A and B are shown apart, each in its own frame.
Chain A
Amino acid sequence: MPHKESGIRLLRIGEILFLALTALSFYLLFISRSGEAHTVWEVLHPAFIPAIFASASLLVMILLTSEETAYKLLFVIILSILLHSFFPIVFPAGDLSGQQSILGRIRLVFDNTVLHGLTGWPNRNIQVFIYQLFMGANLQAALSVILARMLCLDIFYVHLFFIPVLWGTFVPVAAFLVTKAIGGSERASALSGLLISAFPYTTYFGAISVPNSLGFIFFFYSLCFMLRYLSSNESKNVQWMLVFSFFSFMSHYLTGIMSFSLLLLTTAVKRYQSEKKSALANARILLIVSFIISVSLLPLSFIYLRVLGTSIMPAFTLDKIGELSIQEIASLSLFGELAYSSNPRIIFLNIVGPLLALLWMLYLLFRLRRKPSAGFQTQVYFLFAVFLTVLIDYWILKLFMEGLPINEERLWVFRDFIAVPFIGLAAYAACASLEGLSKQKLKGIELANLERPFRSYKLRFSSLLLASNVLIPVLLGGWVTFSLSAAYPQVAPLQTTWYELEAVKYIERVTQVKYVVIGDQWTTYAGQVIVGESNPRAYYFGVSDKIGHELFVNMSRDPSSRWMLSAMNQTDTQVAYFVITEPRLGTDAFNTIVASIPPPLQLFYKSENGKLCVYSYADSNQT
């Protein structure tokens, strides 16, 4: 009894220490916040990574104890939110990527600049309209706007933390449920919840607020209910796997199609289970056909986009594979775009998890083959089939298709979702076997009765016990921490700076009439997060808008009111602004432009540090 009490006391101390370290990590991340940085690594506090490492290792120790699973999951969620919040906490406007464009579009809904969502009423054909309604950004827009209004906060903050918080909360729980569904113990399942953060692709997608990330969350839950459906006949599992698949589709096309192809596979596996005794051959044929259809659904769905009449033109091709050597094909098939990476550490961190998972999956399949009556056999086979589906789909998209609207690398997130339960099982099995081994060997050996050589023997087994309690948590905690270096980019352009945001806010606050801003793509990113994308009242040309780009290039080479006038005429606005930023242009180019600004253009705003200037021009005839 006293031994148990001291164990509980030790556990509570460990938990308090974990919470204190996580709070410290949050604090260190907040003080690392920088208004001018390229990557998070540039500005992170030196004590942050050691704090995260200690925190993650301590959490693994807690997860391996007999603590209530609810508390374990709560701790995992807290750490997971922290691990996915680097961008919104460190950078003033989150990661400089598509998530800013999404925010730009959502802001239009938040500010009531557009009606009927981001799609607008049909102006082309009804198929395209329906397709666009379900394109994902609409669901995220609705959800973000509702949450922002409920919290009475600006959409800017809600959007930046939207996915990191949702992902950090719900994805570890989904990993827990999936691991449970394939027979994992509570400890192994809770371990999976943490180890999902050891997969760089999933960490990155959990850190940016894009519809695809939202889709991944719903996909993971649909997978969880598919596994439950395979092990029970409860009708509500069917209902929930359909509901989550539908939401997965509403969130993003890619995750939706993957969910539907897995639905088909699930139904086929279920049917195989019931029919294999009466008609094995037929059941097998049905299973194989279903697998082929499941695999082909995603590539073919891209082709259907052409039929719908969208501007996307995906096609099958043999050109890509014809241009590659055998070695390139092999490395692309195995590593994807990582094959072009020159950093072996990044490659290793990205493939070590899936590789270990595959090995453990094969081991389980081998073991289950020898024990056909063992439980969860169907679920493991199913997940193996899903793993293969993802791989084959990736190969098809990567090597045999062109003009795709998405980057094929996103498929690795599905692979990682399948891999994480097996990693949890493997890690827990390693830990349990080490512990079991040490206990077994120590049993019945009394130190006092042993001769000197046997004492060292006992010490060796004590160290084995120590290894299971300390070494494995340190290894897994280190893995989670080390993976962050592959999840968050090591090289990136200068993120949206504080002075770009200030300039955009100043223009918006001071200007009472409709205006247009000529600037580089970085200014556009900053502009759209504050006023929205292509807002007719406060117009910033799109990031890939050729007209906007040409106007900026012309203004940089030959600053003149005629370009400003041209921009105003094209956008039906009354004032034009020209924004230049020294770090983006380079000091020489910046100074040259400043020196050659002609008199009709007036200096409207200059940032405190002098790195950004805004010039204005108003057409006297219009104003």
Chain B
Amino acid sequence: MVRVTSNPSGFEKHIAKDPKSVFTLTSYALVLATYMNLNTIKSAGLGIALFILYFSINGVFLAYAFFGNEGRFLRLIFGVLLTIMLLGFVGWLVMVIYNLDVPEFSFVLFIVSTFCSLMNKRLKDKNAA
């Protein structure tokens, strides 16, 4: 495996461990905040902040689930890429079934968050076993 850096960051590991599903719940809260931002606040600044947080949490979930052996930087890159792919795929599916208006879009985010969290938990347990 390619190791770009070997030292895992403490916070990254903390997110991946997801104690008491805190980060899964945070991810859901971010989905809610994004929904509210789109409907009421309509702030691009807030949108960018929520976007970064959402990708950080779910990217780390996926990165640890599937690319735990890679170095930190590559893990981050793969995590973000997988989150983008997953958002694209679920979004594509929802769009083809109906459309991608704000509620459907929020539903996509929710599905992706759930998937990322489940994958993280499942593969983390598997790796631990």
Contacts and interface: CB of A to CB of B under 8 A. Distances in A.
A169 B48 CA distance: 18
A483 to B, nearest CB: 25
A246 to B, nearest CB: 9
A169 B96 contact: no
A152 B109 contact: no
Contact of A116 (B4, B44, B91, B96): B96
Contacts of A112: 99-101
Given A69-B5, A138-B92, A152 B101 contact: no
A116 B95 contact: yes
A103 to B, nearest CB: 16
Please report whether the interface of chain B is mostly helix, strand, loop or mixed according to DSSP: helix
Contact of A170 (B81, B91, B98): B81
A70 B92 contact: no
Given A70-B5, A150-B54, A152-B43, A133 B96 contact: yes
B4 A152 contact: no
Most A Cβ at <10 Å: residue of B2, B38, B91, B109: B91
A574 to B, nearest CB: 26
Contacts of A149: 34, 38, 100, 102, 105
A117 interface: yes
Nearest to B31: A150
Contacts of A150: 34, 47, 50-51, 54, 109
Does more than half of chain A's interface fall in helix, strand or loop, or is it mixed? helix
A153 B92 contact: no
Contact of B73 (A74, A152, A180): A74
B42 interface: yes
A413 interface: no
Interface string A478-495: 000000000000000000
A133 B109 CA distance: 22
Interface in B69-116: 71-74, 77, 80-81, 84-85, 87-89, 91-92, 94-102, 105, 108-109
B56 interface: no
Given A151-B44, A151-B51, A143 B91 contact: yes
B44 A173 contact: no
Contact of A69 (B73, B85, B92): B73
A117 B101 CA distance: 11
B82 to A, nearest CB: 9
A115 B99 contact: yes
Nearest to B37: A152
A73 interface: yes
B46 interface: yes
Contact of B95 (A74, A141, A151, A153): A141
Contacts of B100: 109-110, 112, 142, 145-146, 149
Contacts of B28: none
Interface of A: 68-70, 73-74, 109-110, 112, 114-117, 119, 133, 138-139, 141-143, 145-147, 149-153, 166, 169-170, 173, 177, 180, 186, 218, 221, 236, 243, 247, 250
Q: Which 6 pairs from chain A and chain B are nearest by CB? A: A152-B47, A142-B91, A70-B73, A143-B88, A142-B92, A151-B47
Given A116-B95, A169-B80, 15 more contacts: A69-B4, A70-B4, A74-B73, A109-B95, A114-B99, A117-B95, A119-B96, A145-B100, A170-B77, A173-B74, A177-B74, A180-B2, A218-B85, A221-B81, A236-B66
11 contacts: A69-B4, A69-B71, A69-B73, A117-B95, A142-B88, A142-B100, A143-B92, A145-B95, A152-B38, A173-B77, A236-B66
